[in-house]
Amino acid sequence: MALQKLNSEELAQELLSLHLWNYSPRLSSITREFVLVNFLQAFELMKQIAVAAEKHNHHPEWRNVYNKVTITWTTHDVQGLSMKDIELAHICDEIFNLLK
């Protein structure tokens, strides 16, 4: 099944479950900053998310500065947000919760 862009109703519903993620209508993306104890923990978060992203064949835009990791999800193929972005955001939250 091909990826589909979430319509406005679907998106509004899905965003309710992503309390700590910021939605950018202009960029059609969701972003969250994760703050960890130190660089090694931040790198571990990135490593575990990288494994999940590869498994789902969907990869984030991200940035790391010392103990902070900023992750942005969007689906370029549909020029907006898809369920893959929502799923991977939840996976990021789960991984972070296990590390903190």
* Structural domain 26-99, CATH architecture: 2-Layer Sandwich (3.30)
Phi, psi of 23, deg, nearest 5: -95, 130
Q: Measuring CA to CA, which residue among 14, 13, 24 is closest to residue 84?
A: 14
Phi, psi of 39, deg, nearest 5: -65, -40
The residue assigned the tokens 């900053």 is: 33
Is the predicted pLDDT of residue 3 greater than 90, yes or no?
Answer: no
What residues does each domain of the chain span?
A: 26-99
Segment 5-60, tens digit of pLDDT: 999 999 999 999 999 999 999 999 999 999 999 999 999 999 999 999 999 999 99
Phi, psi of 20, deg, nearest 5: -100, 5
Residue 1: pLDDT band (50, 70, 90) is: low
Q: Which residue has the higher pLDDT, 8 or 1?
A: 8
Exposed, middle or buried by CB within 10 Å (0-12, 13-18, 19+), for 82?
buried
Whole-number pLDDT of residue 2: 72
Segment 49-88, tens digit of pLDDT: 999 999 999 999 999 999 999 999 999 999 999 999 999 9
